Structure 1
Amino acid sequence: MKILNYILALGLLFPLASSCSDDFLEVEPKGQFLSSSYYNTEDQVYSGLVSVYDILRKNTGGFENMVALLNSGSDDHVAGGGGATDGIQLQRFSTHDLSSTTVGASYWDDHYEGIFRANVMIQKLPEAPVSDALKARYTAEVKALRALYYFNLVRLFRNIPLITEPLTQDQYNTITQVDPGEIYGLIEADLKAAIPNLPDVIPLDTEAGRITKGAATALLGKALLQQGKNSEAAAQLALVNGTPGTPSPYGYELLSNFEDLWVVDNKFNSESILEVAHTNKGESHWGIWGSGADEGNTLNVMVGPRGYSKISEDAPEIPSGWSFNVFTQKFYDIMAGDPRFEATILDLKTMKENGEVDYIAGYEDTGYFLNKFTPTIAVEHTGAGDAVLNYRQNSYIIRLADTYLMEAEALGGTGARAQALLDAVRARVGLPSVPVSPDAIALERRKELAGEGHRFFDLVRTGKAAEALSDRGFDTGVDEILPIPFKELENTQLVQNPGYN
């Protein structure tokens, strides 16, 4: 694969980036290191661990981030942006017309780079100059991260290679794809091996952002659910969730106010299970943007309105953005009257009609912006770099309301526990109980998790994608996954996914 070829050709172990957390130790870049001469000190080993974590930024970092892509391909958003070719992978995924040359190659490359780093770390740790306790914990963290990166890859592309050790230069182009079941087998094995050696809780002042036992267990439950192993998924998710509506065994608890989930300073709160950290201290600039070295939340500027100006004194303070991922009218109507509406949807259409604001309509404009990530406060810029690339809002990969609803789904959408899990999510925002059912759970997920990148995979997992996306060009048996990027097919043994030849 090309990304591995690039890394191996340079003899480069990893770039030392530190976007994992403002609190998780920031490792200063010290150049480039050969794997053969690295891991000789405890600091180097720790730097290697940070490098594996760094790929988590793919969730909301860089233009080709996971949330922007997955939102674009769902029925709740259109791609938006500045025109029909602005962010071509988002536009084509929105209309389910991707090809091997328009799919964003980094969705493949970046995840395999994370896997490469994890494989090197796993290989080097047994002889690393750290205590046995640290070896056990670092190995557990790296295996959990490798499982996450494979989980993203297998959901995105399905037919992928399984690589569990660093490749040599002459090996990379002989790799073939494996049955997806083998990928899921490794995901499950890695997580089950990791869980016993991970801490139940971590000190947030020094370790915020690191993998815990609860995070790995939640990811295992999610991976089992994706495969239809519902009873096993429910068992794992129950360990994370505990008694609905009360603090879980790992200390997770729904925030009392839904809006507080989106307060920029409310990082690593009690509802957060697995969270990506961004910082405004990275001095990110256009020269490194999208390279993996930028540390800001790019989704913020992507979803902000174009050419925004405040007219009324009561109008929100919003820096201008690029107008991607606007909500559809259909979703707006579904959310109407829901207590989560204002935290989820920024209704600039109505504000503009009332003379409160003005903005430049982007492509496919509806006037309904993703308020969870709209940058409502200008970035606290701390030095060099470009301000719009240094937004510091974190993003959730998994949070407790998500695991509540996943467990309810895994239970078949029936029974007292499924009812209690659904009720807890609704009660948090002041909604009354409704009879639990698969449809009620799906609707609650749609409203609760809107704009967070879950909807497309939810539709595929539950077999509802064809119906929900029938007006978006969705082709059953093809568009559940992405085409493999063209460059990965050149001079390799890989074959294109069905329907994309």
Structure 2
Amino acid sequence: MKKNILYYLILGILLLNSCSDEFLKISPETNLTDAAFFKTESHFNLALVGAYEPLRGLVYPGLYMDEMRSDNTFFRYYAPDRGPANWVEDIIQWTDQSQTTAVNNRYYTNYSGISRTNAILSRIENADISDEAKKSILGETLFLRAFYYFDLATHYGGVPLYLEEVLNEETSYQPRSTTEEVYNQIIKDLEAAIPNLPIATSFPQSGRATKGAAKMLLAKTYMSKPSREYSLAESELRDIIGMNYDLLDNYADVFDPINKNHKESIFDIQYKEGDDGQQSNFIYYMFPKTPNTGILTGINVNNTSLGGWNVPNQEFIDSYEEDDLRLPASIKIIEGTLNGGDPYFDPVICLAIKDVGDYTPEPDKVYYPFISKYLHGPYSRPNNTGENWPVFRYADALLLLAENLVQQNKNDEALPFLNEVRDRAGLPDLDEATLDNVLNERRHELAFENHRWTDLIRTGKAIEVMSAYGQRMKNLYDFLPANSFNVTEQRLVYPIPYRETQINPALGQNTGY
């Protein structure tokens, strides 16, 4: 049994908790009550590694539910995938329902993480380990539980709050807490975590939670909860500005794995290229549908099943200001030919990578923009890369503080933070800070990092922006169904998985689904 515990906690093979016919299984995947475990500091550290592991399972649903749900990216309509890919298109087109795959996976992944943190928290106080180790483990674990609940609250609204291990069926049936109650619990967890977390003092960092990461999450919580608390968020963000973080000189270097956990990184989801199960492959979801990725990655992979998603739309590309250094670092063009000639049925044969800024289409070629900011080949293995996923970084903190100050009518105070980010991008200073130009800066600075959708939600711009965007898309693409882009207040959150509403009637369903 101990061997099984170590296997699951270290390698994190089971990203998702299974769901029994009777109730949502949010108890640990293994028998963590085993008397042989949770005895030593090493045991708790292994369990903590297991509690970090579900973070990786949140990156991929985020590509669909955050980035493609927004006005940044779209998809390439590919007729042979009408069945398997429809659930992705449902999210993009706003036709998703309570059995949509990514929506369900994200929900279960978060509760998997919560289950693992609760297993640690229920045992740490009485553990026979040093006070120093206990505080450190407690701080990281509370941060992680807060992170998982924040992801749930921002995407599903009110959800059941499980703050202790679920050890039997009876305790698994929980009604939903309100959205405000979930955010208040997140605040409580973070306030308890922060005193026990270290300040990042040297770089590269370890990749684990720090005071800066917890304060960033706390600030976003204050600015996202129904009863906004901007002054409290401002205090947390100013604390971060006073820490040891800074912008890297070169925007492209932020995403290069050679610089992992650098001074701009506040919190990243960690990956490592190799054969030990720690690799990423999210870049393949950003490539065109192609049978030959060799020109992109250095190793040929047939990417017709993974590719064609998160395609930067032309409107977004055109919205970059002239000489914005972030454009060539974020987006490139793949040029090639169609293997058959029909753009709806045939993948592209990649022939060359071109810069997007001065690209002139050739009459005998097809071209597709793609996200290039995470591409750092050549790689040695197919579908196996080592790029981290950026969650919080210093530029995000600067722009979030600018947004916060504008929301408090402190526009003059916001301007220096806004212009600091623009300066790194090679752009001239602005004369004033407004909510619209702060949001515009966040859109370009944090492009393809899964922030745009929640930015629109937090600032109350989602319905306005996405309704107009949806109409433009429907005018462009005749394959979009008539009921697509039905952007309503109710659909600013995703549905609770259908299965959960059936086995736990106390949950109910979000209005509109």
1:236 is the counterpart of 2:236: yes
Q: Residue 219 of structure 2: which of 213, 218, 221 is its match?
A: 221
Report what 2:138 is aligned to. 139
Please report how far the alpha carbon of residue 446 of structure 1 lies from its aligned counterpart in structure 2 after TM superposition: 0.6
Please report how far the alpha carbon of residue 79 of structure 1 lies from its aligned counterpart in structure 2 after TM superposition: 3.8
> What are the within-5 Å matches in structure 2 for residues 325-474 of structure 1?
325-335=310-320, 337=322, 338-348=324-334, 357=352, 367-373=368-374, 375-381=375-381, 387-388=382-383, 390-412=384-406, 414-434=410-430, 435-470=432-467, 471=470, 473-474=485-486
Q: Secondary structure at the match of 1:348?
A: strand
How many residue pairs end up in the alignment? 444
Structure 1: 5+ residue runs without aligned partners?
Answer: 1-10, 21-30, 243-248, 285-294, 360-364, 382-386
Please report how far the alpha carbon of residue 394 of structure 1 lies from its aligned counterpart in structure 2 after TM superposition: 0.4
Please report how far the alpha carbon of residue 453 of structure 1 lies from its aligned counterpart in structure 2 after TM superposition: 0.4
2: distance between equivalents of 1:481 and 1:282? Answer: 37
Report what 2:360 is aligned to. none
> What are the within-5 Å matches in structure 2 for residues 19-58 of structure 1?
32-37=30-35, 38-58=37-57
Q: Residue 274 of structure 1: which of 253, 267, 276 is its match?
A: 267
Please report how far the alpha carbon of residue 85 of structure 1 lies from its aligned counterpart in structure 2 after TM superposition: 4.1
Q: Secondary structure at the match of 1:473?
A: coil
2: distance between equivalents of 1:88 and 1:202? Answer: 47
Please report how far the alpha carbon of residue 111 of structure 1 lies from its aligned counterpart in structure 2 after TM superposition: 0.4
> What are the within-5 Å matches in structure 2 for residues 117-136 of structure 1?
117-136=116-135
- Taking structure 1 as reference, are residues 316 and 380 closer, same or farther at Cα in structure 2, changes over 3 Å only? closer
Q: Residue 484 of structure 1: which of 466, 471, 496 is its match?
A: 496
Q: Is the contact between residue 162 and residue 183 of structure 1 (CA under 8 Å) also seen in structure 2?
A: yes
Report what 2:288 is aligned to. 305
1: distance between equivalents of 2:325 and 2:336? Answer: 18
Deviations 1:382-430 (Å, cap 9, x if unpaired)? xxxxx31x21100111001111111111112643331010010000122
Please report how far the alpha carbon of residue 219 of structure 1 lies from its aligned counterpart in structure 2 after TM superposition: 0.9
Report what 1:99 is aligned to. 97
Please report how far the alpha carbon of residue 56 of structure 1 lies from its aligned counterpart in structure 2 after TM superposition: 1.7
Please report how far the alpha carbon of residue 66 of structure 1 lies from its aligned counterpart in structure 2 after TM superposition: 1.9
Please report how far the alpha carbon of residue 69 of structure 1 lies from its aligned counterpart in structure 2 after TM superposition: 3.0
Report what 1:323 is aligned to. 308
- Taking structure 1 as reference, are residues 415 and 466 closer, same or farther at Cα in structure 2, changes over 3 Å only? closer
Report what 1:289 is aligned to. none
Report what 2:246 is aligned to. 253
**Structure 2 counterpart of 1:273, which letter?**
I
Give the share of equivalent positions with the same residue, in percent.
Answer: 29
**Structure 2 counterpart of 1:148, which letter?**
F
Please report how far the alpha carbon of residue 297 of structure 1 lies from its aligned counterpart in structure 2 after TM superposition: 1.7
Q: Secondary structure at the match of 1:34?
A: coil
Structure 2: 5+ residue runs without aligned partners?
Answer: 14-28, 339-347, 355-365, 471-483
Compute the RMSD of aligned alpha carbons: 2.9
Please report how far the alpha carbon of residue 263 of structure 1 lies from its aligned counterpart in structure 2 after TM superposition: 1.3
Q: Secondary structure at the match of 2:311?
A: coil
Report what 1:23 is aligned to. none
- Taking structure 1 as reference, are residues 110 and 265 closer, same or farther at Cα in structure 2, changes over 3 Å only? same
Q: Secondary structure at the match of 1:490?
A: helix
Q: Is the contact between residue 206 and residue 261 of structure 2 (CA under 8 Å) also seen in structure 1?
A: yes
Q: Secondary structure at the match of 1:367?
A: strand
2: distance between equivalents of 1:310 and 1:182? Answer: 47
2: distance between equivalents of 1:367 and 1:327? Answer: 9
2: distance between equivalents of 1:258 and 1:158? Answer: 34
- Taking structure 1 as reference, are residues 202 and 131 closer, same or farther at Cα in structure 2, changes over 3 Å only? farther
Q: Is the contact between residue 310 and residue 358 of structure 1 (CA under 8 Å) also seen in structure 2?
A: no
Q: Secondary structure at the match of 1:17?
A: helix
Please report how far the alpha carbon of residue 119 of structure 1 lies from its aligned counterpart in structure 2 after TM superposition: 0.9
1: distance between equivalents of 2:499 and 2:458? Answer: 28
Deviations 1:275-334 (Å, cap 9, x if unpaired)? 1111123444xxxxxxxxxx322311111233265999xx98585542210011111111
Q: Secondary structure at the match of 2:309?
A: coil
Q: Secondary structure at the match of 2:259?
A: coil
2: distance between equivalents of 1:272 and 1:319? Answer: 31
Report what 1:162 is aligned to. 161
Q: Is the contact between residue 12 and residue 35 of structure 1 (CA under 8 Å) also seen in structure 2?
A: no
Q: Is the contact between residue 58 and residue 106 of structure 2 (CA under 8 Å) also seen in structure 1?
A: no
1: distance between equivalents of 2:88 and 2:292? Answer: 26
Please report how far the alpha carbon of residue 241 of structure 1 lies from its aligned counterpart in structure 2 after TM superposition: 1.5
Deviations 1:429-453 (Å, cap 9, x if unpaired)? 2211112111110100011111110
- Taking structure 1 as reference, are residues 84 and 426 closer, same or farther at Cα in structure 2, changes over 3 Å only? farther
Please report how far the alpha carbon of residue 12 of structure 1 lies from its aligned counterpart in structure 2 after TM superposition: 7.5
Please report how far the alpha carbon of residue 173 of structure 1 lies from its aligned counterpart in structure 2 after TM superposition: 4.6
- Taking structure 1 as reference, are residues 183 and 112 closer, same or farther at Cα in structure 2, changes over 3 Å only? same
**Structure 1 counterpart of 2:503, which letter?**
N
2: distance between equivalents of 1:273 and 1:219? Answer: 10
1: distance between equivalents of 2:115 and 2:154? Answer: 19
Report what 2:512 is aligned to. 499
- Taking structure 1 as reference, are residues 41 and 202 closer, same or farther at Cα in structure 2, changes over 3 Å only? farther
**Structure 1 counterpart of 2:435, which letter?**
P
- Taking structure 1 as reference, are residues 403 and 301 closer, same or farther at Cα in structure 2, changes over 3 Å only? same
Structure with bigger RCO (C-alpha 8 Å, 6+ apart): 1
Q: Secondary structure at the match of 2:390?
A: strand
- Taking structure 1 as reference, are residues 316 and 176 closer, same or farther at Cα in structure 2, changes over 3 Å only? closer
> What are the within-5 Å matches in structure 2 for residues 74-85 of structure 1?
74-80=70-76, 82=78, 83-85=81-83
Please report how far the alpha carbon of residue 33 of structure 1 lies from its aligned counterpart in structure 2 after TM superposition: 4.4
Q: Is the contact between residue 327 and residue 368 of structure 1 (CA under 8 Å) also seen in structure 2?
A: yes
2: distance between equivalents of 1:475 and 1:484? Answer: 18
Q: Secondary structure at the match of 1:73?
A: coil
Q: Is the contact between residue 13 and residue 117 of structure 1 (CA under 8 Å) also seen in structure 2?
A: no
TM-score computed with the length of structure 1 as normaliser: 0.82
Report what 1:25 is aligned to. none
2: distance between equivalents of 1:107 and 1:226? Answer: 19
Please report how far the alpha carbon of residue 153 of structure 1 lies from its aligned counterpart in structure 2 after TM superposition: 0.3
2: distance between equivalents of 1:484 and 1:15? Answer: 27
- Taking structure 1 as reference, are residues 347 and 49 closer, same or farther at Cα in structure 2, changes over 3 Å only? same
Q: Residue 61 of structure 2: which of 42, 61, 65 is its match?
A: 65
- Taking structure 1 as reference, are residues 226 and 350 closer, same or farther at Cα in structure 2, changes over 3 Å only? farther
- Taking structure 1 as reference, are residues 212 and 76 closer, same or farther at Cα in structure 2, changes over 3 Å only? same
Please report how far the alpha carbon of residue 103 of structure 1 lies from its aligned counterpart in structure 2 after TM superposition: 4.2
